[in-house]
């Protein structure tokens, strides 16, 4: 099945927030944000802005009728700054004007009286000063302290990974208007409609039942709208509530880039112990997460880093500690992978360092330590239906990993100006929200009297194709054609108390709820058919809209059955609730069974480095992915392609830079390089691992949103291996992204023996050749 949204997208008919026709009298909002990263806010000068053309009102913290608080996990984030500012780009005031240009022009006239305070941007500095968002967490398995004595090799080092801008095509925004009886309806570009509703109610000081949040679809989220769509939705709701007028707030791209949080940068220390035969025996790791100025989702992201700190390897003795460090950057937030990729980068760095010190390939160490069925993760859950080896072996068969390495070696022997690197990146990702309570969803299914079907769930369509999957689930369960089924907007009055569309779990959770609701309706209709047609209910089914008994069509069909049910006064609506079974986690012992299942895969990435210039090309990515029994192979392949490219971007080119005053330097697309069509490897092969799928996955079709991002980590190591082919004497720091500048610096590093520059040396050998 293809993505049902595709036709609307290519025709420009799909509706995004900015396509909603605005009502007459709509006010447009612009945000005035802190120009400093840290300081005491002594006052605001609003006169000039208030006198500017078209300005109707300017809202500040003092105007908030309820609580000035939008913190989800920790109540540490005001909607509008009050007393202090904690990051550049922190919202301070909201200008409401007749037009958008007027609002934006007036916001520029606001001045804040801020007494500067010291700015921290480095998580290790924050840690040293005791600036932690939440107490540290430690996961333990076995006894690493005792295990060091048994290790033949011990490798120590540090690894750094940078942040990442979400760059959803549609920027943050919301449109809110007053409804009857003091209510507010909010159209928001959010992955978490319930979070927007909850916080709007809190800030306005009214019940959640008076706030309705509605979402048609997003132009991308990637985690950036899991929590951080909330402030803009609440600001618009605040304006609408106070002025009793519609308010529209859409962030210009530049404001979105500087005001919103990103993927968390991490700085980490590791110590890895191996046996003589390259078995990983012990691993100690400490993560310093750069959380930014408020908690946002950082504690949950931190937790997922620990859950994925050993990637897809079994290590019997582990101690992993994580600190969430408060700095004066915009609060960092969810981003596809949610801390998992940051944890995996560190163990892969440790393995790469071990490999180079021991004179073997990293692949040799990786392969020997892949998880096996029943192996325990460092949080107590066993690996079940484990496909780590299956993926690796399939990759070996399909792509001949050993031969491929030999070809790369041969290329490197006969070339001096270009060098190649090959890296293998096996992945393992846990599916479920790590907060057990969030693993629930509901679906509301109506069959109309003409046989058409309308479905509401908590799932937000953001380009990932979840609506198409919901249609597929309903069509298969009811036995009807997909063109009878419509997925309605995601709306908090139709489906309440939803978890955000996140954690790769949206199709599983909402799909299981749809399946339950449709199954109940199907049973009800079949019972009626049995009664009406005087046949046994056993063996009755609805298949392609016909009613079959023991496989033979009988005198009824979908439309007749639905009409008959209505006349018999049988309900044609169903509301189902799904909660993933068997999950638990005990934070006191840091152990439990947090994930419904794991997704596995193995990618091989080849890069070619230009030895003179430091530029490189990612030539090929060939991977085997564990889709289970994919219910929508086209959509799932698209998720793998997109995740892969996003991961390669994070690891190789997207360099998020802040100066010491917390100012975002890479604040435009001319200074922040994202992958374009030309940076996508020319050769991308995606093999579907043949398996039965997993029973906890919807229709045995496994979650696919986040896991493939982590194949991109292979891009870092492919480029690094190519550098080492040119300069076996240098060991570039494990510092991602590995930009062309860093590659060039590594290639130009002073030689240990002679002091000739590599450029000169390469040029010399080029002349010789
Ligand atoms: N969001 C969340 C997530 O709240 N909890 C999670 O475990 C998670 N995992 C991945 C992405 N978003
Ligand atoms: Mo996410 S990082 O699944 O919002």
> SS3 letters for 134-166?
CCCEEEEECCHHHHHHHCCEEEEEEEEECCECC
Pocket test for ligand 1, best of 304, 430, 439 (most atoms within 8 A of CB): 304
Query: For atom 2 of ligand 1, which residue has the closest CA?
Result: 433
Pocket test for ligand 2, best of 189, 222, 510 (most atoms within 8 A of CB): 222
Distance 338 CA to ligand 2 centre (A): 6
- Residues contacting 323, CB < 8 A, separation 6+: 123, 127, 132, 136, 286, 287, 288, 289, 302
Distance 728 CA to ligand 2 centre (A): 39
- Residues contacting 707, CB < 8 A, separation 6+: 427, 429, 504, 599, 601, 625, 643
Angle between helical axes of 340-358 and 298-307 (0-180°, round to 10): 40
Other CB atoms within a 10 A radius of the CB of residue 737 amount to 23
Same domain? For 556 and 653 the reply is no
Same domain? For 529 and 417 the reply is no
Q: Is residue 665 part of a domain?
A: yes
- Which residue(s) pair with 214 in the sheet? 187, 491
Distance 676 CA to ligand 1 centre (A): 27
pLDDT digits (tens, 9 = 90+) for 118-150: 999 999 999 999 999 999 999 999 999 999 999
- What pLDDT sits at residue 555? 83
For 361, the enclosing helix (H) or strand (E) is: none
Question: Sheet holding 540-543: strands in order across?
Answer: 540-543, 546-549, 552-557
Query: For atom 10 of ligand 1, which residue has the closest CA?
Result: 503
Domain count, the chain: 3
Same domain? For 227 and 288 the reply is no
Q: Is residue 224 part of a domain?
A: yes
CA-336 nearest atom, ligand 2: 2
Q: Are 723 and 746 in contact (CB under 8 A)?
A: yes
Domain span including residue 547: 440-579
Does the beta carbon of 434 sit less than 6 angstroms from any atom of ligand 1? yes
**What DSSP string runs through 540-562?**
EEEETTEEEETTEEEEEEHHHHH
- What pLDDT sits at residue 769? 34
Same domain? For 675 and 759 the reply is yes
Same domain? For 429 and 462 the reply is no
- Residues contacting 572, CB < 8 A, separation 6+: 446, 447, 448, 449, 521, 562, 565, 566
Query: For atom 4 of ligand 2, which residue has the closest CA?
Result: 223
**CATH number reported for the structural domain that contains residue 517 in this entry:** 3.30.365.10
Residue closest to 146 by CA, chosen among 318, 329, 404: 318
* Residue where one domain finishes, among candidates 244, 259, 274: 259
Q: Are 612 and 727 in contact (CB under 8 A)?
A: no
Q: Is residue 68 part of a domain?
A: yes
Q: Is residue 231 part of a domain?
A: yes
Does the beta carbon of 305 sit less than 6 angstroms from any atom of ligand 1? no
Same domain? For 78 and 200 the reply is yes
Distance 168 CA to ligand 2 centre (A): 13
Distance 505 CA to ligand 2 centre (A): 9
Does the beta carbon of 585 sit less than 6 angstroms from any atom of ligand 1? no
- Nearest 5 degrees, angle CA 664-CA 291-CA 658? 15
Same domain? For 210 and 77 the reply is yes
Query: For atom 7 of ligand 1, which residue has the closest CA?
Result: 433
Distance 495 CA to ligand 1 centre (A): 20
CA-297 nearest atom, ligand 1: 4
pLDDT digits (tens, 9 = 90+) for 692-711: 999 999 999 999 999 999 99
pLDDT digits (tens, 9 = 90+) for 51-64: 999 999 999 999 99
Question: Sheet holding 84-85: strands in order across?
Answer: 84-85, 39-45, 111-116
Q: Is residue 130 part of a domain?
A: no
For the chain (769 residues), the mean pLDDT of every run of 10, in chain order, is 90 96 97 98 98 98 98 97 98 98 98 98 98 98 96 98 98 98 97 98 98 98 98 98 98 97 98 98 98 98 98 98 98 98 98 97 98 98 98 98 96 98 98 98 98 98 98 98 98 98 98 98 96 90 94 90 97 98 98 98 98 98 98 97 98 97 96 94 98 97 98 98 97 97 96 57 42
Q: Is residue 497 part of a domain?
A: yes
Radius of gyration of the CA atoms of the chain, in A = 28
Q: Is residue 150 part of a domain?
A: no
- What pLDDT sits at residue 1? 67
Query: For atom 3 of ligand 2, which residue has the closest CA?
Result: 502
Q: Catalytic residue numbers? A: 706
Other CB atoms within a 10 A radius of the CB of residue 244 amount to 12
Same domain? For 41 and 105 the reply is yes
Query: For atom 8 of ligand 1, which residue has the closest CA?
Result: 503
* CA pair distance 2, 514, nearest whole angstrom: 20
Q: Running DSSP on this structure, what letter comes out for residue 180?
A: T
Same domain? For 389 and 420 the reply is yes
Does the beta carbon of 274 sit less than 6 angstroms from any atom of ligand 1? no
* Residue where one domain finishes, among candidates 204, 231, 259: 259
Record the pTM: 0.96
Same domain? For 216 and 358 the reply is no
Collapse the DSSP code of 366 into the 3-class scheme (helix H, G, I; strand E, B; otherwise coil) and give the result: helix
Ligand number nearest CA of 433 is 1
Distance 298 CA to ligand 1 centre (A): 10
Ligand number nearest CA of 501 is 2
Ligand number nearest CA of 224 is 2
Distance 227 CA to ligand 1 centre (A): 10
Same domain? For 323 and 191 the reply is no
- What pLDDT sits at residue 446? 98
* Residue where one domain finishes, among candidates 535, 559, 579: 579
Pocket test for ligand 1, best of 336, 344, 503 (most atoms within 8 A of CB): 503
Other CB atoms within a 10 A radius of the CB of residue 135 amount to 8
What residues does ligand 2 touch, defined as CB less than 6 Å away?
191, 223, 226, 334-336, 338, 502-503, 706
Does the beta carbon of 502 sit less than 6 angstroms from any atom of ligand 1? yes
Q: Running DSSP on this structure, what letter comes out for residue 132?
A: B
Q: Is residue 131 part of a domain?
A: no
* CA pair distance 758, 726, nearest whole angstrom: 9
Same domain? For 237 and 341 the reply is no
């Amino acid at each position: 099945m293809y993505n049902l949204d595709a036709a609307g997208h290519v025709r420009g008919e799909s509706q995004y927030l900015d396509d909603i026709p605005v009502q007459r009298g709509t006010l447009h909002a612009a945000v005035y944000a802190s120009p400093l990263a840290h300081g005491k806010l002594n006052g605001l000068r609003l006169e000039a802005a208030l006198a500017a053309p078209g300005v109707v009102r300017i809202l500040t913290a003092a105007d908030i009728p309820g609580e000035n608080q939008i913190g989800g996990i920790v109540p540490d984030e005001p909607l509008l700054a009050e007393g202090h500012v904690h990051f550049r780009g922190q919202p301070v005031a909201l200008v409401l004007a007749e037009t958008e240009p007027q609002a934006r022009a007036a916001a520029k006239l606001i001045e804040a009286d801020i007494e500067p305070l010291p700015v921290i941007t480095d998580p290790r500095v924050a840690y040293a000063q005791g600036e932690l968002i939440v107490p540290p967490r430690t996961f333990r398995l076995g006894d690493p302290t005792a295990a060091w004595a048994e290790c033949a090799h011990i490798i120590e080092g540090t690894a750094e990974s940078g942040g990442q801008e979400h760059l959803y095509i549609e920027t943050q925004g919301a449109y809110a208007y007053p409804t009857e009886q003091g209510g507010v309806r909010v159209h928001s570009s959010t992955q978490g409609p319930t979070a927007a509703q909850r916080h709007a109610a809190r800030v306005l000081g009214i019940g959640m039942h008076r706030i309705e949040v509605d979402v048609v679809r997003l132009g991308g989220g990637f985690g950036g709208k899991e929590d951080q769509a909330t402030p803009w939705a609440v600001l618009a709701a605040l304006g609408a509530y106070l002025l009793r007028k519609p308010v529209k707030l859409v962030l210009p791209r530049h404001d979105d880039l500087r005001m919103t949080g990103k993927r968390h940068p991490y700085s980490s220390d590791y110590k890895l112990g191996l046996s003589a035969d390259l078995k990983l025996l012990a691993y100690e790791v400490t993560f310093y997460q750069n959380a930014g100025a408020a908690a946002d989702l950082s504690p949950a992201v931190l937790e997922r880093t620990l859950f994925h700190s050993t990637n897809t390897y079994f290590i019997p003795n582990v101690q992993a500690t994580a600190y969430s460090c408060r700095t004066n950057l915009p609060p960092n937030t969810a981003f596809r992978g949610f801390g998992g990729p940051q944890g995996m980068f560190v163990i892969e760095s440790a393995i790469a360092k071990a490999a180079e010190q021991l004179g073997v390939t990293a692949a040799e160490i990786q392969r020997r330590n892949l998880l096996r069925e029943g192996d325990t993760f460092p949080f107590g859950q066993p690996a079940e239906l484990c496909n780590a080896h299956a993926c690796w072996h399939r990759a070996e068969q399909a792509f001949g990993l050993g031969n491929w390495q030999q070809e790369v070696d041969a290329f490197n022997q006969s070339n001096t100006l270009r060098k190649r690197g090959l890296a293998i990146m096996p992945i393992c990702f846990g599916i479920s929200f790590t907060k057990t309570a969030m693993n629930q969803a509901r679906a509301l299914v109506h069959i109309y009297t003409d046989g058409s079907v309308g479905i509401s769930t908590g799932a937000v369509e953001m380009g990932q194709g979840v609506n198409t999957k919901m249609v597929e689930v309903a069509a298969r369960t009811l036995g009807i054609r997909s063109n009878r089924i419509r997925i309605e907007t995601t709306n908090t009055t139709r489906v309440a108390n939803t978890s955000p569309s996140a954690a790769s779990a949206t199709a599983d959770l909402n799909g299981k709820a749809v399946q339950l609701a449709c199954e109940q309706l199907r049973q009800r209709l079949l019972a009626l058919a049995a009664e009406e047609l005087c046949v046994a209910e056993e063996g009755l089914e609805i298949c392609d809209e016909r009613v079959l008994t023991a496989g033979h069509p009988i005198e009824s069909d979908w439309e007749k059955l639905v009409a008959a049910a209505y006349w018999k006064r049988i309900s044609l609506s169903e509301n189902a609730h799904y909660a993933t079974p068997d999950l638990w986690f005990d934070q006191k012992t840091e152990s439990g069974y947090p994930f419904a299942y794991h997704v596995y895969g193995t990618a091989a990435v080849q890069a070619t480095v230009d030895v003179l210039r430091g530029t490189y090309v990612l030539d090929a990515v060939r991977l085997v992915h564990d889709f289970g029994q994919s219910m929508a192979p086209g959509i799932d392949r698209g998720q793998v392609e997109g995740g892969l490219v996003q991961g390669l971007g994070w690891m190789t080119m997207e360099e998020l830079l802040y100066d010491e005053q917390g100012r975002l330097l890479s604040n435009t697309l001319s200074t922040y390089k994202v992958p374009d069509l030309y940076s996508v490897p020319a050769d991308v092969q995606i093999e579907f691992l043949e398996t039965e799928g997993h029973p906890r996955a919807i229709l045995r079709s496994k979650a696919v949103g986040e896991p493939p991002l982590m194949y991109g980590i292979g891009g870092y190591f492919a480029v690094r291996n190519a550098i080492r082919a040119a300069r076996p004497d240098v060991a570039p720091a494990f510092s991602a992204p590995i930009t062309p500048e860093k590659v060039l610096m590594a290639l130009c590093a002073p030689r240990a023996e002679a002091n000739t520059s590599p450029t000169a040396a390469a040029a010399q050998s080029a002349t010789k050749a």
